[in-house]
Amino acid sequence: MSTTRVRFAPSPTGMMHLGNVRTALINFLYARQKNGTFIVRIEDTDAQRMLDPDAQQIIEDLRWLGLTYDEGPCKEGQYSPYFQSKRSHIYEQMRMRFQDKKAIYRCFCTEEELAHKRERQILLKLPSRYDRTCTFLSEEKIAVYLANKTPFIWRFKLDHDASVTITDMAHGNVTFELSNFSDFPISRQDGSFTFIFANFVDDYEMKITHIFRGSDHLSNTANQAALFQALESPLPIYWHMPILCNKEGKKLSKRDFGFSLQDLRNAGFLAEAIINYVGIIGNSFEQEIMSLEELTQAFDFDAIHSSSSITYDVEKLTWVNKQWIGRSSTQDLVRRCRPLIIQKYPAAQTMSDNKLITLLEIIKLEMATLNDSVALLEFYFVAPTVHKADIDACISGDSQIIIKEIIQSSYHLFTHSQEWILYIKSAVREKQLSVKEMFWFLRLALMGRIHGPSIPELLEMLGAECAQKRIEHVLHLL
């Protein structure tokens, strides 16, 4: 039985973004490939920035993306609870364990004192790190501080003569000389614990075997590895993944469209497409359009790249989304698009599924996002406004005269669309008119633009009576 255990540990302090999605996906894929356990752990210790109480949005986003976890909120397992805010007693027990090992010490230095030390080190061009002042305090002095209730934090005492080595799946063995690092806080003055310490304790207690996270966490890893080493515990295997950047090479941020998962959902991107895209970005696959199951089989963890960043391309994401819309069943598109269409066109409330299927089937291949259905079907609900200049821009004056003559002579066939189309084509050939110009005019009249569905499809969508009224209305402009 596999002992592989991986975790996705988001903070409910803001929106789920593409970086989060990619981290969650990579952990999910590895767990599924190795028949391991995928854990979701919520890092909710920053109460002031709590924007998603109980991580409800995170849980919903993972459900929507299809990233089912094995242990986590609402799926309690052997190592619960899975909210850091409920694990303080576990962190305190571990702190006491380090205290017994004399691996940590109290630091009574104030923020002002620490800032002054940093400024002095900068002026002297010395490395900016804590100077261990509080390691020289006598037991008597510490007792006085404690009696006076002087605020303090706990610091981990690094062995500056030692090094730690981690195994990174992209970079191989990475060694950190601890002489280059400062004794770091594991607690705050209010008694709560720092991210570095709580993260380490959770990974240790939950027996996490592999940690996949962004390369911006690499500096944290040296300190966490030192904590593992202090307990003589095997280290997890890491992959510090490339950071998602925009086309300018800057880290993806709120200013970039698509950074937020909610933005993409609102813009009409499919969960399948988002997962597909973040799974293939930065990698090379023979087949790019893959389901989550196919991606699980295809992702090669033995051939991952060591680059520090990869470029997010919204155009490629849009292309992937278009492919997924194209392979979706029209019935499924009805379910997804109906709310969007009704919101814009209340008249669609009474439209049958069969009618909406007919409409979506015709425009489906033009859709790059679900929201495109609203714009592409506008002509169905709202008669287009066509001006003479629109006609003149694509059809010559001589051709307009012939078009008017042919259409006026065919009114009696309007209710028989197939016969009417055959008559129009025959008359166009007889008059030596461009079929393209005739169809451009008809599309302008029926939907307000010259490119789109075929004329028979438009007649089927609109019905003969509506189509005739629109054509007659625009014909008066000629």
User: Given this model, what pLDDT does residue 47 score?
Assistant: 63
Nearest of 190, 189, 102, 111 to residue 152 by alpha carbon: 189
> Domain spans of the chain?
1-75+242-327, 88-241, 328-380, 383-478
Mean pLDDT of 73-94: 94
> For 11-15, 379-383, 391-395, 408-412, which range has the lowest pLDDT when averaged over its residues?
11-15
**Partner residues linked to 106 by β-bridges:** 154
- The CATH superfamily of 1-75+242-327 is HUPs (3.40.50.620)
Mean pLDDT of 63-84: 94
Q: How far is 343 from 328, CA to CA, in rounded Å?
A: 22
Q: How far is 184 from 362, CA to CA, in rounded Å?
A: 62
In this structure, are residues 298 and 29 in contact, taking their beta carbons and an 8 Å threshold?
no
Q: Is residue 163 helix, strand or coil? A: strand
Q: Write the pLDDT tens digit of every residue in 126-183.
A: 888 899 999 999 999 999 999 999 999 999 999 999 999 999 999 899 999 999 999 9
User: Given this model, what pLDDT does residue 52 score?
Assistant: 75
Q: Residue 101 gets which letter from DSSP? A: T
Nearest of 261, 255, 269 to residue 319 by alpha carbon: 269
241 token code pair: 């993944």
Q: How far is 324 from 363, CA to CA, in rounded Å?
A: 14
415 token code pair: 């209710």
467 token code pair: 């189509």
What is the rounded end-to-end Cα distance, in angstroms, of the chain? 78
User: Given this model, what pLDDT does residue 1 score?
Assistant: 45
Which residues, 6+ apart, have CB-to-CB distance to 231 below 8 Å? Answer: 97, 204
> For 268-277, 374-383, 413-422, which range has the lowest pLDDT when averaged over its residues?
413-422
- The CATH label, of 3.40.50.620, 3.40.50.10470, 3.90.180.10, 3.40.50.720, for the domain at 88-241 is 3.40.50.620
Q: One fold for both 1-75+242-327 and 383-478?
A: no
If pLDDT is split at 50, 70 and 90, which confidence band does 304 have?
A: confident
In this structure, are residues 262 and 17 in contact, taking their beta carbons and an 8 Å threshold?
no
**Partner residues linked to 189 by β-bridges:** none
- Angle 271-280/56-65 helices, nearest 10 degrees? 80
In this structure, are residues 54 and 86 in contact, taking their beta carbons and an 8 Å threshold?
no
Mean pLDDT of the chain: 93
Which residues, 6+ apart, have CB-to-CB distance to 453 below 8 Å? Answer: 362, 363, 447, 461
Q: Write the pLDDT tens digit of every residue in 318-374.
A: 999 999 999 999 999 999 999 999 999 999 999 999 999 999 999 999 999 999 999
Q: How far is 352 from 364, CA to CA, in rounded Å?
A: 18
- Check if CATH label 1.10.10.350 holds for domain 383-478: yes
CB atoms within 10 A of CB 245: 17
Mean pLDDT of 94-109: 97
